[in-house]
Structure formats: C-alpha cells, structure tokens
Amino acid sequence: MNKHSLLSTFPALHMVVAVSKTRPISAIETKISEGFSHFGENKAQELLEKSKANLNVTWHFIGRIQTNKLKDIVSVASWIDSVDQFKQALLIEKYATFYNKDINILIQLNLTDEVQKGGLHPSELESFITQIKDLSHVKLKGLMVMGPSDADLIKTEEVFKQAQMIFMKTKKSHPEMTELSMGMSHDYELAYKYGSTCFRLGTILFIQ
C-alpha cells in the first residue's frame, strides 16, 4: 500500500496517535479540525501544560516513564503506552484510584535489544500480564513495539513480523488485548503490513 492510499485509510483505522510533542496548541487544534482525536506526548510537564487548554482530545503518554512523574501523567492521560515494569503498573493503579479513573495501558516490548530503549523481553511478557491482571483501574489493551533506532527497513520488518506473531499468540489467551501499537512516520507502511492497529505519527502529520 502506498503512502497516499494509507493516509486516506487513516480515518478508518483503529487508532492514529498524533505525536504532538514540541508542537504548539494551534497545531494540535488544526489536527483536531482534520478529525484527529488521539494525541501523544513524551514528557510529563509538556503533557500537563497542554492539558490546560482543555481540548476535546484523548491524551496518550508515549515516553519513558519516570515514576516520580506518574501521578501527574495519570491525572491527565487516558492511555500510557510505554509500561514495562510492575512497579509502574502499581503506581498507575494507585493514582488512578485516587483520581477515580481507568487508565488504558500498553506493554512495551523491546525486540531490538537496544539498551537505550525501554521494554520487556518477550520471555517476560506472560508473567508480567499475570502480575497486573487483577489491578482494577489498569486496563491492559495491548502491546507497543518500536523499530530499530537506525531505521533499517530490513531489520524493522523482522521486528514488526516478530511483534505480530507475539501479539497474535498472546491475544489468544488474553482477548482484552486488542491493540498492537507500532509504526511511526518513517516505517508506518511496514507496521500496517504486519497488523498494527495503532500508529504513532508525528512528522508526517505536522509537516510545516
């Protein structure tokens, strides 16, 4: 599928998260007028500041999680897409209880073995799901995977193919996991090919 046909398909896809980090409120408002409703931020302070505009959007936190920032993140976000530690899940539960809200989470997997990236090793996934399944305010929705940092499309394809296999296998035992979040501006076509239900798109949406 080429770029243009995929872009025209976006409204029909399950979810597109417009990555609005560093973008002004005016740019977000433009995307809202174009039909986008999910927006992603990777820094807690920026997320908090933008939330003060009271936009009619669903906020995702998509960055590395600092536990001392989680209370602020939970107060604003509806989705946390980068959970990879049980202590994070426990704190999300604690703060979600405090705010009387549910938080949708994605478990981040690390399939590239890059130490600078967060994420669980696939061998840890099932035990992690078991640990968090009884948390009442934490709603497990699926997996999040990032391609390799060097953006090599051959390696990216292998990562996305592996992610799809893990997701399909895990979903059989945990049907509540409906989302496979992978694909950014440079590799969304491969992500689409391998079953992504959620794209995180920044540059391609916010072209100046």
What does the domain layout of the chain look like in residue ranges? 3-201
Q: What is the tens place of the pLDDT at every residue in 157-187?
A: 999 999 999 999 999 999 999 999 999 999 9
Residue 4's pLDDT is 47
| % of residues, the chain, pLDDT over 70 | 93
User: So what's the pLDDT on residue 8?
Assistant: 66
pLDDT of residue 28 exceeding 60: yes
Query: Which of 9-18, 65-74, 155-164 is predicted with the least confidence, judged by mean pLDDT?
Result: 9-18
The full DSSP string for the chain is --HHHHHHHGGGSSEEEEE-TT--HHHHHHHHHTT--EEEES-HHHHHHHHTT--S-EEEE-SPPPGGGHHHHHHH-SEEEEE--HHHHHHHHHHHHHHT--EEEEEEE--S--TTS--B-GGGHHHHHHHHTT-SSEEEEEEEE---TT--HHHHHHHHHHHHHHHHHHHHH-TT--EEE---TTTHHHHHHTT-SEEEESTTTS--
Whether the model pTM is above 0.85: yes
CATH of domain 3-201: 3.20.20.10
